[in-house]
Amino acid sequence: MLIEIENPMGNYITLKNAPDVINISSFDNEGHVKFEFIPVLKKDTYTISYNDQLVRLVIEEGDDLLVRFSSKKVKESIEINKSKYGFADYILKKNNIAKAFWKDIKGTYSLPIKNYRRKIDSLNREYQNLLKEYNTKNNKSWTDVEQTNITYDYIESFMVYPQEYKFFTKTAATLDSNYLDYEKLLEFNNPDLLASNKYKTVILNYIRLKAGKELNIGRLESIEDFKRLLNKQLMLIDNLIQDKKVKGYFAFKSIADHLKRFGTEGIEDNYTRFLNEANNTSYKNKITDLVERSQVLAKSKQAPDFEFEDTSGNILKLSSFIGKKTYIDVWATWCVPCLKEAIPLAELSNEFTNINFIAISVDENKEVWKAKALEYEKKNPLVKQFTVSGGFKSYFAEKYKVEALPRFILIDEEGKMIDANTLKPSSKRIHRLLSKKPKQHF
């Protein structure tokens, strides 16, 4: 059985056949974990336990299961493909091919375009040959979706090449006839392709890249940059896409992603127009919910108070820090980008002693968090280390819409919101932001 988790959070997942634990396993960065086991009976009930959420499923002898779900709402999003055709085995093999191929990611992206294309073509052939092994007439819909995944994975390889080459080599890539003119291959008006997650990812990233280029925005830092980017994205979606279903999805995703990160400020016209024009009730309900939740965190609103625990087990509240500006770092021990911000955060705390710097962990495992937090406190006691009970399902995470890490929040001396998604410690503009006097923030 292969389990595929969207946006994995935490570290472990358990498979049980009551009362026995069959296996406890960790998953890789892509959210995959495979359980190898022999059913106790020819047909029996098993329980998947993940982040305190339980899902029961019936497994028969000989079943090859592919189980997909979102880490935040397992029961609501779970999708089970049960067959004898090896879907799970196929995905695991494909994942292993990708891991081996991208092992030297720097070396691959640093290749000149001729060599890079030759290498990407070889990866595409491996994927196509693997799919042929599992292709059956009885599963045409699954095969069609997977073919779309492979096609758009290939397109994505060329879409990201120029910026990745520049990132790793510090020079601009020379693009000649070997470079794939991928834009001609993109389809914008086929709603069937929405069944492919890779298709949706590539098209959305293409729209974002194109919007950034047309606006000539380099590094996105300020909320104003992201507002301009959203406006441009929605204009491009209107111009590029005629199919209502496809257009509706990408407009929804663009607005929803912005609302999750930055709230409603300055984009009222965007989401109001969407709510008036959209036909998909589910999309409209989600946008409405995000708008309502965002308004709680709007600038100058009183920051929701919440409790957290320090490394000694003491319970404190956010309100106990009123009197000074407060900069909150939301992190977890398993989040690599979070760990990279630890040194810049420590440097800020030494420079801005008039500001409270607190780090709040959403780790599920309190002991793992405590060990890392004590290490950080020893190196820099000016950054106070705390954790919240419940991780991503905690009151704090719910009220502050913590759905991705790292996350940084800035609150004023009176406990009012300055920015629910503020600049990270390593940002070039963070010093200017933290140096502002209270009235300058509003």
Q: What is the pLDDT of residues 262-282, one digit of tens each?
A: 778 788 898 999 999 888 998
Over range 274-295, report the average pLDDT. Answer: 87
CATH 1.10.287, applies to 2-84? no
Give the C-alpha separation, 45 to 300, whole Å.
52
pLDDT score at 83: 58
pLDDT score at 160: 94
Q: What is the pLDDT of residues 17-53, one digit of tens each?
A: 654 555 555 555 556 666 655 555 555 666 777 665 6
Q: What is the pLDDT of residues 198-214, one digit of tens each?
A: 999 999 999 999 998 88
Helix axes 140-159, 161-169, angle to 10 degrees: 50
Architecture per CATH, 307-441: 3-Layer(aba) Sandwich (3.40)
Highest mean pLDDT among 81-90, 288-297, 404-413: 404-413
Residue 324: pLDDT above 90?
yes
Helix axes 244-262, 281-296, angle to 10 degrees: 10
Over range 374-394, report the average pLDDT. Answer: 92
Q: What is the pLDDT of residues 140-160, one digit of tens each?
A: 777 888 899 999 999 999 999
Residue 127: pLDDT above 90?
yes
Give the C-alpha separation, 322 to 412, whole Å.
8
State percent of the chain over pLDDT 90: 49
Closest by CA to 203, choosing from 172, 247, 165, is 247
pLDDT score at 312: 95
Give CA torsion, residues 372, 373, 375, 377, to 10 deg. Answer: 170
- Would you kindly state where each structural domain of the chain is located, as residue ranges? 2-84, 93-296, 307-441
Give the list of residues 6+ apart from residue 210 with CB closer than 8 angstroms, or none. Answer: 236
pLDDT, greater one: 39 or 121: 121
CA-derived radius of gyration, the chain:
24
Give the C-alpha separation, 416 to 410, whole Å.
9
Q: Buried b vs exposed e over 31-56: b needs ≥16 C-beta within 10 Å?
A: bbbbbeeeeeeeeeebebbbbebeee
Which of 81-95, 409-423, 424-438 has the lowest average pLDDT? 81-95
